[in-house]
Homo-oligomer: A and B are copies of this chain.
């Protein structure tokens, strides 16, 4: 249990971290906004999956997922195959074009972070990742409203 002062400061850091995200978004190709890049990244890492699983990993509503997926499908980076086990569902997987796009995205991201985090050790980056991961876990599945305003 932490002090209120720490809570306020954490809230502020969360608010300000958006600037970092926007800086990273600037290096993306013009036809591949952050939402599309996130879809490609998750499919590349975890392999084919259905919409609902992707929405869970993206931590957004499935309606939002549907829009992002439509965008990357329109560009030929993924395919939506019918799920033989459930005709309501669709199985998403990267195309060859999608893999090429991922390679491009990975190169750009690595270049940017290597520049910005040049004085960070591997261990320090790992600590930050671990704490951010735990933070997300502590908040659970935030897509479902819990405390209406």
Residues in A lying within 8 Å of B, measured CB to CB: 1-4, 6-24, 26-30, 34, 38, 41-42, 45, 57-60, 106, 109-110, 112-114, 116-122, 124-129, 131-136, 138-140, 142-143, 145-149
Contacts and interface: CB of A to CB of B under 8 A. Distances in A.
A73 B27 CA distance: 35
A136 B16 CA distance: 8
Copies in the complex: 2
The 7 closest A-B pairs by CB, nearest first: A19-B59, A23-B142, A2-B125, A2-B122, A13-B132, A128-B131, A19-B142
21 contacts: A1-B114, A2-B113, A2-B124, A7-B110, A9-B129, A10-B125, A10-B128, A14-B17, A14-B20, A14-B21, A14-B132, A15-B34, A15-B58, A16-B57, A17-B17, A17-B135, A18-B60, A20-B136, A26-B148, A120-B134, A127-B127
A3 B121 CA distance: 9
A59 B18 contact: yes
Contact of A13 (B117, B129, B138): B129
Contacts of A19: 59-60, 136, 139, 142-143
B138 A120 contact: yes
A7 B11 CA distance: 24
Contact of A6 (B18, B122, B146): B122
